[in-house]
Amino acid sequence: MSNSPYIIEVTEENYQSAVVEQSRQVPVLVDFWASWCQPCQMLMPILAKLADEYQGKFILAKINTEEQQALAAQFGIRSIPTVKLFRNGEPVDEFAGALPEAEIRKFLDKHIPRESDALVEQARQLLLQGEAEGALALLEQARASDPANGNIDLALAQTHAATGDIGKAEEILARLPADLRDKPEVRTLQSLLFFEGLLAKAPAQEELVQRLETDPDDAEARYLLAAHHAVNQQYEQAMDELLQLMKKNRNYGDDAARKALLKLFDILGDDPRVPRYRSRMMSLIY
């Protein structure tokens, strides 16, 4: 048995306390292994190294499936190594096979709080209170202490966007690693920046309304008016204008209205209005 305080041998007798209860305090990584399994033997020293390196930010729990067959059956283990991560008494993620160390680090970092994340949360609260400069200062401090934390760059981009520095926000988003670029909050911010960018040199909303009163077929005015509505969080008005533009001039800006609608859907996420407006959009396509 390992002498590390961060590694535990788990049996039926101590499973409840070592895995279920302990996972309510700190993530528990459960490694299902067997002595005859060569990939298991390759994986174990990597997991042990990481357990010591992370210094208690997670606990490594080892379950020998030959000796603890009831536990293996309980979790339906059919191949080994299988590794499950427990939080708050329940398995929340897993991987199978002997992954490389870098992949295991990525797996762990999705679930293990980092000290810099606390600074990010403080910065978000300052931003909500309108203290953007203080938020930026905290985020720069966080990035200096933990440059590998991509959440910091995302928060920096959001903060710069909130202060109106669209170019800086876009620059930060462009350097995000690939695994972060697909996050819903990144797509949402990119879509918001898209509409902000449209308005950088656009006429005022009142002027666009007057243009449309004079000429209802003014596609540019309708498109930019939709962007104003989007930036002002008047999402239904924005979608209505874009649908109207699709009806009147589908070819405007290389199908710009449809593309802008898709960006609004990204912003709205699970909002119940999205299926309704998506259906209306699709009816104009087919």
For 269, phi and psi rounded to 5 degrees?
Answer: 60, -120
Q: Is 203 a catalytic residue?
A: no
Instruction: Return the percent helix, strand and coil in the chain, to nearest 5.
Output: 60, 10, 30
Of the candidates 28, 37, 83, 123, the residue annotated as catalytic is 37
In the chain, count of helices (H) and strands (E)?
Answer: 15, 5
What the block records as the tokens of 157 is 């981009």
Sorted by sequence, the CB contacts under 8 Å of residue 188 that are 6+ apart come out as: 266, 267, 269
Helix, coil or strand: residue 13: coil
Q: What are phi and psi of 141, to 5 degrees?
A: -65, -45
In this structure, what token pair is assigned to residue 78?
């059919």
Do 83 and 95 contact (CB within 8 A), yes or no? yes
- Joined together, the tokens standing for residue 254 give 């290389």
Active site residue 29: no
CA distances from 202 to 28, 115, 225 (A): 53, 42, 9
Which strand (E) or helix (H) includes residue 81?
none
Cα separation of 161 and 186, whole Å?
12
Q: How far apart are CA 7 and CA 45, in angstroms?
A: 11
Catalytic residue from among 40, 169, 224, 257: 40
Question: CA–CA separation, 94 vs 65, rounded Å?
Answer: 17
- Active-site residue set: 37, 40
